[in-house]
Chains A and B, each alone.
Chain A
Amino acid sequence: MTRLARVSFAFLGVVAGTGFVAGAYAGSAGYGLGRLAHGEEIAAWNTDVRADGQGLPAGSGSVLRGEEIYFESCASCHGDFGEAVGRFPALAGGEGSLSDEDPVKTVGSYWPYLTGVFDYIGRTMPYGDARSFSSDDLYAITAYILYLNDLVDEDYMLSAQNFLENSLPNEGNFFLDDRAITELPLFSGEPCMRACKEGVEITSRAELLDITPGTN
């Protein structure tokens, strides 16, 4: 359905006095259930941003403005430098750590797409007061996170226009699920039932860690 058609349908609905789009649509193959969505309703909920930039709202924000918002709304959990407080997620650092014993996954070290950062902050942050940042706030915070990861300079201004110029360093290091090739052939076939190994030794014991909560 075109936008124009939707708007005119909505207009009819208001005229009919329902306040929303009235009645069922003239269904073709279906059950005639539901009603056509109002353009304003779609605008209210259809706020996601896709990796190709679909859904990026108009607006812009600077690193410096982002720093102000970050210190007010983000630093108490994510740390002054994006290093994280307690078990909240780190946003910066960790470059080159992904093959280490203790990898640190951050926007700079792990996330493949900056759109995901923008979308996520917009839909769920600040923690406990979701969906309260303006579009300009989101551009500013995202710019500041780029800055925390040494990906832009402090005078950078992020906007809908230049957003997709910001690729993240780890984008190329993801690959599609390959278990069908790398694992399933190994993990199939009739398994051994008798005398499958010479002996058994205990190699690891949870009791030694003693980190299990009590069950009383």
Chain B
Amino acid sequence: MDLENIKYFKGKKPTRRKFLRGALLAGGSVAASSVAATHALASSGADPAIVDKQPWDTRFGAGVDAAPYGLPSPYEVAVQRRNVPWLTADTVSSINFTPLHQLDGIITPNGLCFERHHSGVAEIDPAKYRLMINGLVERELVFTLEDLMRFPRENHVYFLECVANSGMEWNGAQMNGVQFTHGMIHNVMYTGVPLRLILEEAGIKTNASWLLVEGADAAGMTRSLPMEKALDDCLVAFKMNGEALRAEQGYPVRLVVPGWEGNMWIKWLRRIEVGDRPWHHREETSRYTDLMADGRARRFTWELDAKSVITNPSPQAPLTHGRGQTVLNGVAWSGRGTIARVDVSLDGGINWHTARLSGPSLDKSMHRFYFEFDWDGSDLLLQSRAIDSTGYVQPTKDALRAIRGKNSVYHNNGIQTWLVNPDGGVENVEVS
């Protein structure tokens, strides 16, 4: 039903599988064909991938319009969002995960952005879309989609992280894959109208200090949003990465709340009520509050602390090339600004090296980092540590547990450790 119990595995375990083998098979063509090529080269001296004619260099390929909306190469079929069946009672109130280990750069393709629904995907006819603003305003207004697109609009790249991301790892290393430990995140360029302009259109009254933002899905998702944030950088967005929002991301209109927990980014946004105090609805009381070890709970923990993870190698993306030149690759983000620096460790945090950031460094956006090194084939304990523009340094999981205990479910931004074995297989571990 929800993510509250994600630190506990309950129920039947899947059958044991050799994870490295599974990952190699899933990686499919790349690993298998490089092995084959090496073998063929050894026996004949020439690479058949070069000396043999291939279908694609002798015959016509598909013409234009074969796929009016293009899809990835069929060889990329293993690149998919995946869920964890034992985690939730029902897929309509569940989550799946972005395949971080199969992506690069900073932008998440629309079809791979993780999904989190509370009553399934609302399929809204844009002609019937309405946004209402009511409450403490001078004019209670209704907008159509066309109305919204007549406001001045802006483009911004922001990460959206579900605050339960890594929630399964509070009690120790649980999930053997970066998709499952860190995949409740995506990073997208939004086009939308500053929420401030819509509030100004309605005219907020002087005693207005909070908003209730509400979705049109069958969960009627609601959150209370402080006015200060609403007037700062929130967007009422209708495009992601240039095209209309995907239905599962809130088509036709979603709220964008940069740097703050994903649950507040109301999808299928249909109503904004202006008020003078918070509503204390279910998703900000019973859920999305952080239980401390003493039984008390933090509320209104909106901002996402700086976090990073190495996406490659990782358990779903083992090292298949053996010793020698190796690329370590990962992502970092902060709800409080940009990422100033990422350090990586190959020895479980004894020594650190500053990684190379590449690509745009944008406020409250994912950043991409790389670290290239010569692997000698011995065990590695890989870690990454983000430092953001406020000087915040990503802590260890143990440092977080010392303050919060193990039952806070949300806001686990602790340092992740991957054990790389000499055979190139990778495991999710924790270290002292």
Q: Which residues of the other chain, B, contact A58 by a CB distance below 8 angstroms?
A: none
Interface string of B269-284 (1 = CB under 8 A from A): 0110101011111100
Flag if B176 contacts A207 (CB, 8 Å). Answer: yes
Flag if B350 contacts A199 (CB, 8 Å). Answer: yes
Name the interface residues of A191-214: CB closer than 8 Å to any CB of B: 191-197, 199-207, 209-214
Flag if B218 contacts A124 (CB, 8 Å). Answer: yes
Q: Which residues of the other chain, A, contact B203 by a CB distance below 8 angstroms?
A: 28-30
B interface residue count range (under 10 / 10 to 19 / 20 to 34 / 35 or more): 35 or more
Flag if A189 contacts B270 (CB, 8 Å). Answer: no
**Cβ of B285 < 8 Å from any Cβ of A?**
yes
Flag if B432 contacts A201 (CB, 8 Å). Answer: yes
Q: Which residues of the other chain, B, contact A48 by a CB distance below 8 angstroms?
A: 212, 214, 222, 273, 279, 281
Of the candidate stretches A62-70, A156-164, A175-183, the one touching chain B is A175-183
**Cβ of A27 < 8 Å from any Cβ of B?**
yes
Q: Which residues of the other chain, B, contact A28 by a CB distance below 8 angstroms?
A: 138, 203
Contact of B174 among A89, A101, A175, A209 (CB under 8 A): A209
Q: Which residues of the other chain, A, contact B141 by a CB distance below 8 angstroms?
A: 25, 34-37
Q: Which residues of the other chain, B, contact A42 by a CB distance below 8 angstroms?
A: 132, 134, 140
Flag if A1 contacts B140 (CB, 8 Å). Answer: yes
Q: Which residues of the other chain, B, contact A110 by a CB distance below 8 angstroms?
A: 286, 297
Flag if A102 contacts B8 (CB, 8 Å). Answer: yes
Give Cα distance in the complex from A204 to B150, angstroms.
55
Contact of A87 among B88, B212, B395 (CB under 8 A): B88
Contact of B220 among A117, A131, A175 (CB under 8 A): A131
**Cβ of B247 < 8 Å from any Cβ of A?**
no
Flag if A124 contacts B219 (CB, 8 Å). Answer: yes
**Cβ of A19 < 8 Å from any Cβ of B?**
no
Q: Which residue of B lies closest to A124 (CB)?
A: B219
Interface string of A95-109 (1 = CB under 8 A from B): 000110111010100
Name the interface residues of A47-62: CB closer than 8 Å to any CB of B: 48, 50-52, 54
**Cβ of B5 < 8 Å from any Cβ of A?**
yes
Flag if B432 contacts A203 (CB, 8 Å). Answer: yes
**Given that A89-B2, A98-B291, A200-B347 are contacting pairs, would A213 and B84 also be in contact in the complex, using a CB cutoff of 8 Å?**
yes
Secondary structure dominating the interface of B:
loop
Flag if B19 contacts A207 (CB, 8 Å). Answer: yes
**Given that A48-B273, A51-B278 are contacting pairs, would A77 and B432 also be in contact in the complex, using a CB cutoff of 8 Å?**
no
Flag if A45 contacts B271 (CB, 8 Å). Answer: yes
Q: Which residues of the other chain, B, contact A50 by a CB distance below 8 angstroms?
A: 212, 275, 277, 279-280
Give Cα distance in the complex from A207 to B18, angstroms.
10
Flag if B134 contacts A31 (CB, 8 Å). Answer: no
Give Cα distance in the complex from A161 to B316, angstroms.
57
Name the interface residues of B2-32: CB closer than 8 Å to any CB of A: 2, 4-5, 8-11, 13-14, 16-17, 19, 22-23, 25-26
**Given that A88-B89, A196-B352, A197-B349 are contacting pairs, would A103 and B299 also be in contact in the complex, using a CB cutoff of 8 Å?**
no
**Cβ of B165 < 8 Å from any Cβ of A?**
no
Give Cα distance in the complex from A215 to B393, angstroms.
33
Flag if B392 contacts A34 (CB, 8 Å). Answer: no
Flag if B291 contacts A206 (CB, 8 Å). Answer: no
Interface string of A150-177 (1 = CB under 8 A from B): 0000000000000000000000011111
Q: Which residue of B lies closest to A113 (CB)?
A: B280
Q: Which residues of the other chain, A, contact B281 by a CB distance below 8 angstroms?
A: 48, 116, 119-120
**Given that A48-B279, A189-B391 are contacting pairs, would A130 and B151 also be in contact in the complex, using a CB cutoff of 8 Å?**
no
**Cβ of B394 < 8 Å from any Cβ of A?**
yes
Shortest Cβ distance from A128 into chain B, in angstroms?
Answer: 8
Give Cα distance in the complex from A16 to B2, angstroms.
48
Flag if A34 contacts B280 (CB, 8 Å). Answer: no
Flag if A211 contacts B139 (CB, 8 Å). Answer: no
